[in-house]
Amino acid sequence: MQLDLFRIRVFLPNQDDFFRRNLSRGQLIREAVGSKPTAPVWYGVHWHIGNVEVIDETGVYCALGRTTRGRIPVIDQRSGDFVEQEFDSAPYTHVLLDLELEVCAIARKTSLAPTTSAIARHLGRVLMSSPTVGASGVSFDVSEISDPEQFLAELKRAYAISFFKVTLKRPNPFDINADFLGPLSKAIEEADGETGEAAIKGKALDPVPLEELTRSAASTGDNAAARMYLQNQRRSVYRSLRGDTASISADALDDQDDRHAALDAVRARYKGIRKPKE
């Protein structure tokens, strides 16, 4: 099976009252998931977290699913007539979380939702329905982690890069680029904003420092884009980091050993995106 990677971001409130609880972001995620919250989506349909299991010190497994009520035609054995009988349906998928990295992996399941990103959006809604939100005043956001390799390959092959930008949200990630993106992220928070952009323009930008910014954006669930001139082309082209979600493969997630091995693969995949081996 294939599991796609997402970043769980925890946005802290500005009020000082929050710090009385003295919980880290990872502890907040653990608390929210452990409460097994449920979120109504529309009439008769709810999304729910269940089957929470600790894998190791920072690893957690849970199931995420949708509960609905339906009706099917059956034969009444006493009367011999056709009747409608109600039943409960609860398809679910697997979720692996690393609380220290604030990363999760969601198994694809088209019977649950057409895309894993759609499942991730419901995960965010369920987390926002947890008691942790009311108790701490935090908010949760689940964003896809992009695979940056194709985007970076085009940057390196480009004849010239004339424009580069990174789109990001309020502070959360511990591993954001500290020099360039960190101050902007902090400014978004201080202005009580939600998102912001940092852009660089020039006739021929150096792709080397842009790689660090791209990897930072990919690993934190943000986006990067560039306008570049490819070889033998007079017109520039626009490329975006979004569109290719990072993923891993797992043979099974049936038991503790399977889940631990898959979570180790998630950690390795994330770290390879953030800072590849030399």
For the chain, what is the mean pLDDT? 86
Instruction: Verify that 52 and 174 share a domain, yes or no.
Output: no
Q: Are 180 and 129 members of one domain? A: no
Same domain for 225 and 202, yes or no, is: yes
How many structural domains is the chain composed of? Answer: 2
Whether 95 is covered by a domain: the verdict is: yes
Residue pLDDT, tens place only, 118-133: 999 999 999 999 999 9
Q: Are residues 156 and 137 in the same domain?
A: no
CA-wise closest residue to 104 among 147, 149, 59: 59
Cβ neighbours for 249, distance < 8 A, ≥ 6 positions apart: 1, 2, 3, 265
pTM: 0.84
pLDDT of residue 86: 67
Instruction: Examine residue 259 and state whether it is found in any structural domain, yes or no.
Output: no
pLDDT of residue 18: 47
Domain membership flag for residue 262:
no
Q: Are residues 26 and 56 in the same domain?
A: yes
Structural domain harbouring 190: 149-240
pLDDT tens for 132-188 read 998 888 899 999 999 999 999 999 999 899 999 988 776 555 555 555 566 666 666
Last residue of a domain, one of 107, 128, 144: 144
User: How many helical (H) and strand (E) elements, i.e. helices and strands, does the chain have?
Assistant: 7, 13
Q: Which of 3, 59, 1 is nearest to 269 (CA)?
A: 3
CB contact at 8 A, 69 and 86: yes
Residue 248, number of CB atoms within 10 A of its CB? 20
The answer on 122 and 6 residing in a single domain is yes
pLDDT at 225: 94
- Checking if the pLDDT of 21 tops 50, the result is yes
Residues 6+ apart with CB under 8 A from 190: none
Residues 154 and 235 in one domain: yes
Percent of the chain clearing pLDDT 70 (strictly above): 83
Helix (H) or strand (E) holding 209: helix 207-219
Among residues of the chain, what percentage have pLDDT more than 90? Answer: 54
The mean per-residue pLDDT over the stretch 200-208 comes to 90
Q: What are residue 254's phi and psi, to 5 degrees?
A: -80, -30
Q: Residue 235 is which amino acid?
A: R
127 assigned to some structural domain: yes
